[in-house]
Amino acid sequence: MDSRESKPENVEIQKLKGEHCINVFVSYELKSRLRELAEKYDRTIADMVRALLRIGIPVMEGISESERMMMREYVELFRKARKIKALKEI
């Protein structure tokens, strides 16, 4: 094993070499809106994307959790309705 691999500082070097980068393809319209926002608030497009991701991730998590709960409750309601219908047929 190389002595460089055991040092924790190599983890930081790897991160600087691109481990933290994401390439995302977006529509021209979305890029235009990002550019307008960046110019309006005197920031870079990358700063705007980072801010939107920081804001959007918790929102998306909340929406996903709500959808999951709604589906679970819908399935429970459907099962109860089916049981009631089966009891009425008896």
d(C-alpha 76, C-alpha 83), whole Å: 11
The reported pLDDT for the residue numbered 88 is 78
Chain segment 44-83, per-residue pLDDT in tens? 999 999 999 999 999 999 999 999 999 999 999 999 888 8
d(C-alpha 31, C-alpha 37), whole Å: 10
CB–CB of 8/2 below 8 Å?
no
d(C-alpha 51, C-alpha 44), whole Å: 11
Chain segment 3-23, per-residue pLDDT in tens? 455 555 666 666 666 677 888
d(C-alpha 11, C-alpha 5), whole Å: 9
The reported pLDDT for the residue numbered 1 is 47
Is the pTM value of this prediction over 0.85?
Answer: no
The reported pLDDT for the residue numbered 15 is 63
The reported pLDDT for the residue numbered 19 is 75
The residues near 4 (Cβ < 8 Å, ≥ 6 apart) are: 10
